[in-house]
Structure 1
Amino acid sequence: MYPGKWAAENPEKPAVIMADTEAVLTYGQLEDRSLRLANHMRAAGLVKGDHIAVMAENRFEIVEALWAALRTGGIITVVNSHLTAAESAYIVDDCDAKIFLLSTRLDKAAEVADQCQQVENRIRIDVAPDGGNGGVFAGWDEYEAVLAAASARKPEVEPRGDDMLYSSGTTGRPKGILPGPTDLRIEDEAVPLIRMFTDLYGFDDDTVYLSPAPLYHAAPLRFVMTTHAQGGTAVVMSGFDAEHSLAMIEKHGATHSQWVPTMFIRMLKLPEEVRHSYDLSSLEVAIHAAAPCPPEVKRAMIDWWGPVIEEYYGATEGIGLTVINSEQALAKPGSVGREGPKGIVHICGPDGEELPAGEIGVIYFESERRIFEYYKDDAKTRNSRHPDHPDSWATIGDMGYLDEDRYLFIAERTTGLIIAGGVNIYPQEIENELVLRETIADVAVVGRPDEELGQVPVAYVQLAEGIGPEGEAEEIRSWLGKRLARFKIPREFHFVPEVPRTPTGKLVKRRLPDPAELAG
């Protein structure tokens, strides 16, 4: 399934609406423009399995490039537009892009362009002014001119491609996640990911999907793809804003949406009169993922929005999935659900041995479906596999446990575990408590080396607007003392203007400032 089917039936139906400008991309336009771009790619020598990179803010051209790549059999990488120029250029180079599309609206566009001249075919989105860019866009094709010159004739066969998105890089340089090969064609309906999301969440041609997150992230990109495969409309925001999100649900009658817990927390902290001034009755499914959600936050969201809150636990790697609905979440607070849609969960010890219910270990998914590999990193790929089942069991390094009913609970990624005096401390547990405090807007907990205990937890706190740090550390410490064991309470509280996160809500703990710098 692809937009061409819906373009033939209803070419004027909106495929994408940009929430901030109300600009509309119809199915007829999406079919025509993605086909022309795909034909340009073919004319440039792109063949099945070749790589395409696109870097832009949320805009129509990302969606057009996605479908163009998919219908050539290409592998598309949507580059995180919030990275530095050097980080962006690394990904473009690492993915071996034969075609690179870059929005000149990005502040770092000229710098990225300067570092990516090695790509064979370069396309700039928007006309780049000559002044101030040092000529770095010389030799780049202009997007609209490319489309105008390209053929609009549909080939007889269009092999279906895929995406190769990059890990967030919170524990090192990001790596491309290359899915296994398929023999699908663009019009095939048996696309596993689309079929799974459709069955789980009821996407159809009446769906209005609201995306408040960047399209370079796996979930928004793939949910938009699913929306278009089923003939629905995607409403894309330029970035998350708590109240604006509520307004967009009401204005467009959104039926489906996707969030991260940080967004829930920020919406819940809106004044009650603001929260209840919008009509959210159109919502049928509000999906959240990407980070653990504090049970109190989920309960509050269900109380507010009703039993439409759905959670899944998975990863860009696509190794497996657990799901949990509102009723199950209330019955099993803190769980991310049960296995089923994409494989069986195993909890394993350090030597690969399976652990009984209630014991924390590494989470593996067992699946007979095609399995990913980290692009050009055989060692990381091998390390993701179970030692006894390398062909069918894989992990991303998260820790968790299964209860007696096989509901999965996440503990912490192995790299984030704090071991204090031989006791395991999971930062997420502390963060879940701290984020509920009214005076705190955001928080990150990390381990600090300690001569006596090895490590101790410390907290970086972003205070709510209007709250000063004077005396706040003691207030927080006292408040936490009623909620957590003493050994879990952070030894230090560092107040920062903003906790560093990716735009998808994941903490970037390596970008936290040095405590010595804060003291100075």
Structure 2
Amino acid sequence: MDISALPGFYAIAEADPGRIAVIDTDESQVTYGDLLARVNQVSHGLRARGLGVGDVVAGVLPNGLDAVVMLMATGQIGLYYVPINWHLTEPEVAYILGDCDAKLVVTGAAYSRPGAEIGTDGLAGGQPSGAPEDRTAGAVMWYTSGTTGFPKGVQRPLPGAEPESIVPLYTWFLGEVVELRPGDGVHLVTSPMYHSAPCAHTQFALHFGHTVVIAPRFEPASILELIGRHRVTNAMMVPTMFHRMLQLPEEVRRRSDVSSLQQVIHTAAACPVAVKQQIMDWWGPVLYEYYGSTESTIAFSVKPHDWLARPGTVGKPAPTFEARILDEAGAELPPGEPGLVYVKSSLGTFEYRKDPAKTAASMRGEWYAPGDIGYLDKEGFLFLCDRRTDLIVSGGVNIYPAEIEAALLEHPAVADVAVIGVPDEEWGHNVVALIEPSEGVTPGPELSAELLEHCGPRIARFKHPKVIEYRETLPRTPTGKLSRSKVRQAYLDAL
């Protein structure tokens, strides 16, 4: 059936109810028709609890059907939905619930809390399966990671229109950026849906009419098996996943069938050039990258062949976006000169919930600063250097940790690495590399010397680590982001 002209999930489910919508973590299948019935029941149940347009519902839910239902149910009755990281402590969860003024909380059985609904059964029970009246689009309000303080909700104005009216904008934008199209695609969810990109791509997949396959967790061999078994056509991943897949034994990689992949979209962290090149050598030119943030959404994007022609770029401004590179004084910098990245879009604005000062501090007029240092080449392609907060200044020279990490990750003995700047009276900062060795590798002075020799032809000598230490594990978020601030603080506390 040709669904290319149908405006999103709700209409697709009415027109083709037998289409498979979700394959859950236990391999159970749910059709579009059954999913819509459940979504409608929960929408009625939310209204029966007294929730109206503009109210907030929070979900502390593991990946699975309930998380999908809450996303789509709130999305058709004008509610803000706040997905919450289930790894957070009780005080951290309580802070977000208080800050967002959640009128209702839905949790998984393992994350229950007083007054919360456990799962969606209670909301759906006894409710009609037909569409609610006065349908109007809701929005997801994600909370930022809070690496520089308490997390803040990124809130956008509600569209004030039926969900179907905004779907064409989604499909056009995603088509331009990553060449996703409506039809019989299969999307694989590899990361927790409390993060913005995995959550958004789940929603986009349903609006495209794709089947959503939800992986129980990220395990490299299991993900490859799911890709082959379900003939996955598109997925959203992060660079650390690529690195882990490349560490699989050659025989496992060789027997994996990845021929169905058309778009593997990656974001959330810088991807070392060598890692991305090796994945494309293995999977073919299917890696689509975009750069942005919860606040800016997708600001830059690059398709496979453009990246292969300019390794390391994160692309040109996405449709509707403009970009500038400014120095600390706000002066625009010429091509090739690093500075702060600023973006602006005609699609709309955001605000940090209850924090106008933070909203104002992140803006320069209409321009938003994601907090990264980068430069534009003469053709307008952006190359990122690093986060402004992670910049190391040693002997008056700017050093970008991501560049050193990328060089070290090319060595087979390195499973993971964090590079930080440690205060030094003479130099300002010393470069310190904290390395998680690959399985079976014995750390020690010989390995350190080998790693420094490895860095020789890859990065300038002044960027070489002054100190190399080894750790059993390095802390990463489920989406693969490394919090260098936490690593740095732990290192300093141990001195």
TM-score scaled to structure 2, two decimals?
0.94
Pairs within 5 Å for 1:15-414: 15-18=21-24, 20-105=25-110, 109=111, 113=113, 117=114, 122-125=116-119, 143-190=120-167, 192-200=169-177, 201-318=179-296, 320-386=298-364, 390=365, 392-414=366-388
CA contact (8 A) 1:320 1:367 kept: no
Output the CA distance in 1 between the equivalents of 2:355 and 2:406: 34
Helix, strand or coil at the partner of 1:196: helix
| Structure 1 match to 2:4 | none
Letter in 2 for 1:90: Y
Output the CA distance in 2 between the equivalents of 1:45 and 1:233: 33
Q: For residue 2 of structure 1, report the CA deviation from its aligned partner.
A: 4.0
Output the CA distance in 1 between the equivalents of 2:437 and 2:469: 10
Q: For residue 419 of structure 1, report the CA deviation from its aligned partner.
A: 1.0
Output the CA distance in 2 between the equivalents of 1:419 and 1:192: 43
Post-superposition Cα deviations, 1:167-209, rounded to whole Å, max 9, x if no partner, equal: 1223332211112332221222445344311443223121101
| Structure 2 match to 1:486 | 461
Pairs within 5 Å for 1:403-442: 403-442=377-416
Q: Using a 3 Å threshold, how does the CA distance of structure 1 residues 376 and 192 change in structure 2: closer, same or farther?
A: farther
Output the CA distance in 2 between the equivalents of 1:193 and 1:419: 41
CA contact (8 A) 2:296 2:370 kept: no
Output the CA distance in 2 between the equivalents of 1:93 and 1:517: 31
Helix, strand or coil at the partner of 1:187: helix
| Structure 2 match to 1:134 | none
Output the CA distance in 2 between the equivalents of 1:12 and 1:483: 54
Letter in 2 for 1:462: E
CA contact (8 A) 2:292 2:370 kept: no
Unmatched segments (≥5 aa) in structure 2: 1-6
Q: Using a 3 Å threshold, how does the CA distance of structure 1 residues 193 and 314 change in structure 2: closer, same or farther?
A: farther
Q: For residue 16 of structure 1, report the CA deviation from its aligned partner.
A: 1.0
CA contact (8 A) 2:405 2:418 kept: yes
Q: For residue 518 of structure 1, report the CA deviation from its aligned partner.
A: 6.1
Post-superposition Cα deviations, 1:436-458, rounded to whole Å, max 9, x if no partner, equal: 11011111111111111221221
CA contact (8 A) 1:170 1:510 kept: yes
Runs of 4+ in 1 over 3 A off after TM superposition: 189-195, 513-519
Helix, strand or coil at the partner of 1:12: coil
Q: 1:449 aligns with which of 400, 411, 423?
A: 423
Q: For residue 498 of structure 1, report the CA deviation from its aligned partner.
A: 1.0
Helix, strand or coil at the partner of 2:373: strand
| Structure 2 match to 1:508 | 483
Q: For residue 99 of structure 1, report the CA deviation from its aligned partner.
A: 1.0
Output the CA distance in 1 between the equivalents of 2:94 and 2:407: 38
| Structure 1 match to 2:3 | none
| Structure 2 match to 1:132 | none
Deviates more, 1:340-349 or 1:500-509: 340-349
Q: For residue 481 of structure 1, report the CA deviation from its aligned partner.
A: 2.9
Helix, strand or coil at the partner of 1:31: helix
Unmatched segments (≥5 aa) in structure 1: 126-142
CA contact (8 A) 1:338 1:407 kept: yes
Query: What is the root-mean-square deviation of aligned Cα atoms in Å?
Result: 1.8
Output the CA distance in 1 between the equivalents of 2:466 and 2:96: 38
Q: Using a 3 Å threshold, how does the CA distance of structure 1 residues 71 and 483 change in structure 2: closer, same or farther?
A: same
Letter in 2 for 1:203: R
CA contact (8 A) 1:320 1:342 kept: no
Letter in 2 for 1:257: A
Output the CA distance in 1 between the equivalents of 2:26 and 2:129: 28
Helix, strand or coil at the partner of 2:386: strand
CA contact (8 A) 2:390 2:484 kept: no
Q: 2:435 aligns with which of 451, 454, 461?
A: 461
Q: For residue 152 of structure 1, report the CA deviation from its aligned partner.
A: 2.9
Letter in 2 for 1:251: R
Q: For residue 279 of structure 1, report the CA deviation from its aligned partner.
A: 1.5
Q: For residue 230 of structure 1, report the CA deviation from its aligned partner.
A: 1.7
